[in-house]
């Protein structure tokens, strides 16, 4: 039986209006709870942040959106329809992958289109291998979503189910790169289906194959983009929550929690507010969460943050079809560059880059005749890094711009209007542990029930949500994290009830 918060849970305070907090608020409001959301910024989104600079509407957080059904489920919790609040367009191709040998491949989520593209790119044997791998990825996803990702576990023993045996049988606990190598041999193609390990904070060579579900999400299930930019997602969720009676208090930071025995009785803010509560959901960064609770759970191994990133936001003259929405530029080097940022704390000597052009999906995000680019280069986090970002940040950003220009768009570095540069030091100033926007790495000891739990022993009515707890990092998992937190308070939702609710909402 799943552990839940004992006693009264009529009024719940959710700390943080990121995706996990919004998801929790919607799920709790839909289950009859009175909910107050406290958010330090003047807008919702958390890590899915926003900035308006010189006429550009910038998304400061994640740029890749997958699994709209999980977003749909959050709206449906209060009987709302995602389609009434949010317009999502399929991004096709999902990515354009470019390689050091000058070759490139458009990554389609449609099976027939991708098979044809791979056959032209690498031959019929690799195309056939792709189809087999696609079936494996689909089975992996179906198995993990039902049995692991979307479930609360009270101990590692909870994992001992028939699904665990099946997951092991299909290679879930083998290496991600090795499993992909069973199906496709072309090293370039292997990168296309393993680079997503970086989202999980581990090198592809060390990641568990179980995390290949991320590759399923963006190479099989599809990549989407919301009109209005990524910020439109949290804004729509917050609007649906407010319509369902959730109270939002923006520009308000939590400074302390009042406790009586083992229960949190009120939340205090920097505005002098005292908000009484029966339960609290904390989506704050883990160090702050434990500080507020006054206790840090003991762990057998030290918590390991994920690598970080340098992000450059730049405006450029409209590029036409020279760039698609998501562009991945792979460097010539691969395995060794991960050692540089993870073990040595150095900058990648030959970085692979993600260049996103959100104006491909919504031109209104930039002034007329201009495009907005988001350029991401992996970087060491502050725990292992030896980089002085105060002195090296701008120079490295210029190097990244030059590299992106050489590989993808000649003249980019000459014409770019650099709007903002975000380094690990900047992420740290936003309160992100070790200066990483990717929270905790998904190593084996930080996977599933071994990840910091969403319940803290000794505190009866506090539940955690967000990227540092279960199930992990990413947009879909953040939303699921909020739902899992809500279930700790209001009890599990019957699967049949959930399906009926989604059907009633009128969503897809």
Q: Are residues 192 and 107 in contact, defined by beta-carbon separation less than 8 angstroms?
A: yes
pLDDT for 504 = 42
Within 8 A by CB and 6+ apart from 68, the residues are: 82, 88, 224, 508
Give the rounded distance of the alpha carbon of 114 from its chain centre. 25
By the 8 A CB rule, do 489 and 279 touch? yes
State the pLDDT at residue 156.
Answer: 66
pLDDT value at 264 more than 90: yes
333 or 154, greater pLDDT: 333
- Whole-number pLDDT of residue 201: 80
Q: Grade residue 153 by pLDDT with cuts at 50, 70 and 90.
A: confident
Residue range 439-497, pLDDT digits in tens = 998 887 787 778 999 999 999 999 999 999 999 999 999 999 999 999 999 998 765 44
pLDDT at 57: 98
| pLDDT surpassing 70 at residue 157 | no
Q: pLDDT per residue over 172-211, tens digit each?
A: 999 999 999 999 999 999 999 999 988 788 888 889 999 9
- The SS3 assignment for 224 reads strand
- Supply the pLDDT for residue 135: 98
pLDDT tens profile 285-302: 999 999 999 999 888 568
For range 334-340, the mean pLDDT: 87
| Calpha distance 268→13 (Å, rounded) | 11
Mean pLDDT, all residues of the chain: 93
pLDDT for position 287: 92
* pLDDT score for 158: 64
Statement: residue 160 has pLDDT above 70 = no
Provide the percentage of residues in the chain whose pLDDT is more than 70: 95
| Domain chopping of the chain, boundaries | 11-89+228-301+441-503, 110-221, 305-435
User: How far is Cα 401 from Cα 314, in angstroms, rounded to an integer?
Assistant: 9
The arithmetic mean of pLDDT across residues 163-171, rounded, is 91
Phi, psi of 398 (to 5 degrees): -65, -35
Query: Strands (DSSP E) along 272-416, which ranges?
Result: 274-276, 279-282, 308-317, 326-329, 353-356, 370-379
- What local confidence, expressed as pLDDT, does residue 505 receive? 45
Confidence label for 339 from pLDDT (cuts 50, 70 and 90) = confident
Q: Could you tell me if 475 and 62 are in contact, meaning their C-beta atoms sit under 8 angstroms apart?
A: yes
Joined tokens for residue 136: 């494996």
| Segments in 326-388 forming alpha helices (H) | 335-342
Query: Tell me: the pLDDT tens digits for 2-13?
Result: 899 999 999 999
CA–CA distance, 44 with 56 (Å, rounded to integer): 19
pLDDT at 508: 38
Query: In terms of pLDDT, which residue wins out, 500 or 55?
Result: 55
Nearest to 204 by CA among 335, 326, 350, 377: 335
Query: What is the CATH T-level fold of the domain 11-89+228-301+441-503, as seen in this structure?
Result: FAD/NAD(P)-binding domain (3.50.50)
- Residues 37 and 24: their CA atoms lie apart, in Å, by 10
Query: What is the distance of C-alpha 267 from the center of its chain?
Result: 27
pLDDT reported for residue 170:
96
Q: Do residues 171 and 128 make contact, with C-beta atoms less than 8 angstroms apart?
A: no
Q: Is the pLDDT of residue 365 over 50?
A: yes
Q: How far is CA 452 from the centre of its chain?
A: 17
Query: Quick check: 488 and 463 in contact, CB under 8 A?
Result: yes
- What confidence tens digit (pLDDT) does each residue in 96-141 have? 999 999 999 999 999 999 999 999 999 999 999 999 999 999 999 9
Looking at residue 506, its pLDDT comes to: 46
Express as a percent the part of the chain with pLDDT over 90.
Answer: 83
CA–CA gap between residue 220 and residue 486 (Å, rounded): 29
How many other CB atoms are found less than 10 A from the CB of residue 184?
Answer: 22
**Between 68 and 160, where is the model more confident?**
68
What are the tens digits of pLDDT across the range 314-325? 999 999 999 999
What does the pLDDT average to over 14-24?
98
| Range in 60-64, 249-253, 308-312, 502-506 with the lowest mean pLDDT | 502-506
Q: Determine the 3-state secondary structure of 376 from DSSP.
A: strand
Degrees to nearest 5, angle at CA 208 with 326 and 325 = 5
d(CA 320, CA 488): 49
- State pTM to two decimals: 0.95
181 token code pair: 């190598």
């Amino acid at each position: 039986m799943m552990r839940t918060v004992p006693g009264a849970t009529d009024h719940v305070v959710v700390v943080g209006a990121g995706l996990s907090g919004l998801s929790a608020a919607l799920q709790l409001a839909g289950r009859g709870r009175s909910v107050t959301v406290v958010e330090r910024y003047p807008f919702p989104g958390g890590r899915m942040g926003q900035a308006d600079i010189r006429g550009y509407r910038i998304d400061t957080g994640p740029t890749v959106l997958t699994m709209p059904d999980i977003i749909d489920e959050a709206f449906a919790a209060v009987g709302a329809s995602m389609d009434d609040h949010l317009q999502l367009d399929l991004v096709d191709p999902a990515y354009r992958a470019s390689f050091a040998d000058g070759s490139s491949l458009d990554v389609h989520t449609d099976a027939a289109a991708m098979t044809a593209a791979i056959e032209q790119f690498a031959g019929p044997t690799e195309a056939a291998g792709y189809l087999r791998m696609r079936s494996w990825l689909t089975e992996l996803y179906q198995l993990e979503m039902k049995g692991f990702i979307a479930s609360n576990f009270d101990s590692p023993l909870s994992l001992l189910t028939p699904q665990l045996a099946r997951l092991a049988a299909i290679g879930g606990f083998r290496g991600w790169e090795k499993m992909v190598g069973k199906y496709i041999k072309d090293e370039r193609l292997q990168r296309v289906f393993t680079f997503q390990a970086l989202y999980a904070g581990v090198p592809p060579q060390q990641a568990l194959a179980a995390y290949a579900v991320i590759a399923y999400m963006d190479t099989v299930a599809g990549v989407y983009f919301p009109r209005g930019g990524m910020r439109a997602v949290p804004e729509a969720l917050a609007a649906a929550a407010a319509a369902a009676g959730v109270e939002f208090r923006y520009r308000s930071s939590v400074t302390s929690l009042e406790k009586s025995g083992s229960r949190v009785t009120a939340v205090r803010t920097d505005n002098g507010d005292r908000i009484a509560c029966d339960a609290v959901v904390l989506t704050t960064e883990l160090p702050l969460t434990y500080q507020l609770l006054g206790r840090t759970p003991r762990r057998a191994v030290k918590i390991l943050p994920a690598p970080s990133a340098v992000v450059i936001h730049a405006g450029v003259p409209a590029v036409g079809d020279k760039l698609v929405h998501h562009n991945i530029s792979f460097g010539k080097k691969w395995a060794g560059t991960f050692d540089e940022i993870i073990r040595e704390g150095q900058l990648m000597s030959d970085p692979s880059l993600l260049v996103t052009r959100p104006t491909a999906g919504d031109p209104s995000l930039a002034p007329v005749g201009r495009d907005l680019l988001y350029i991401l280069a992996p970087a060491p986090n502050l725990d292992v890094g030896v980089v002085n970002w105060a002195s090296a940040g701008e120079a490295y950003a210029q190097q990244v711009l030059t590299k992106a220009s050489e590989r993808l768009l000649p003249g980019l570095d000459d014409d770019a209007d650099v709007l903002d540069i975000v380094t690990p030091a900047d992420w740290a100033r936003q309160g992100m542990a070790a200066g990483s926007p990717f929270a905790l790495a998904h190593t084996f000891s930080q996977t599933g029930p071994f990840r910091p739990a969403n319940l803290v022993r000794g505190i009866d009515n506090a539940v955690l949500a967000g990227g540092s707890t279960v199930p992990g990092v990413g947009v879909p998992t953040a939303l699921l994290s909020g739902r899992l937190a809500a279930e700790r308070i209001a009890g599990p939702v019957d699967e049949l009830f959930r399906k009926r609710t989604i059907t009633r909402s009128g969503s897809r």
